[in-house]
Amino acid sequence: MKILKIEKITNEKWLNLYAATYEHNGKTGRWVYASRRDTCEPGAKCDAVIIVPVLHEEGKPPRLVMIREFRVPVGGYDYGFPAGLLEPGEGVEETVRREIIEETGMEVIRFRRISPPVFSSAGLTDESAALAFVDVRATPEMRQKLEGTEEIDVVLLDYEQVCKLCDNPDLPLDAKAWSTLYMYQRLGKLD
């Protein structure tokens, strides 16, 4: 497989379409995909972070922090994890700290694991994100710093609630969120 050329076909702020002309086994094809990048450079460059936070409060069991957010393409709310795009010059850890404060009002107290860039849906987009497993704590003011177009509710789940959410076929769940819920369910604990 060889990519011959890539053409940008839309010019939007957050997401654009690109058409790649490629050659494979002597045949030429065209593949249209979405990208958050201004210029298309194939490869695993981290565009975003997805944060899997566990809240620790004295005297309470650990709780998974999820968000319930209105998503236009879904036409309603879905459950997922705090996430966001890396800003120019910003590293993954810096983005994680900023996004946790913005979307939950909490703060990161420990990074447990950060994945390499992983692709969210390689047949549709070149977007790659780092998954960050972190411990968080509540801040005194516990205020979100949402943009005007965001509508996000913070959802705190103990282990039993994680299992119920994972097994509920009627709730709209982000794919990454469901797989993480399932992981915790199989582990038998949040910590």
Pairing of strands 48-55, 128-138: parallel
**DSSP state at residue 186:** H
- Residue 110 pLDDT > 90: yes
Task: Copy the structure tokens of residue 147.
Answer: 């943009």
List, as one string, the DSSP characters of 158-190.
-HHHHHHHHH-TTS-B-HHHHHHHHHHHHHTS-
User: Domains of the chain, with CATH numbers?
Assistant: 2-35 (no CATH), 48-187 (3.90.79.10)
pLDDT in tens, 42-64: 665 788 999 999 999 999 999 99
Query: What mean pLDDT is predicted for residues 69-97?
Result: 93
Q: pLDDT at position 42, please?
A: 63
- Residue 146 pLDDT > 90: no
- Prediction pTM value: 0.90
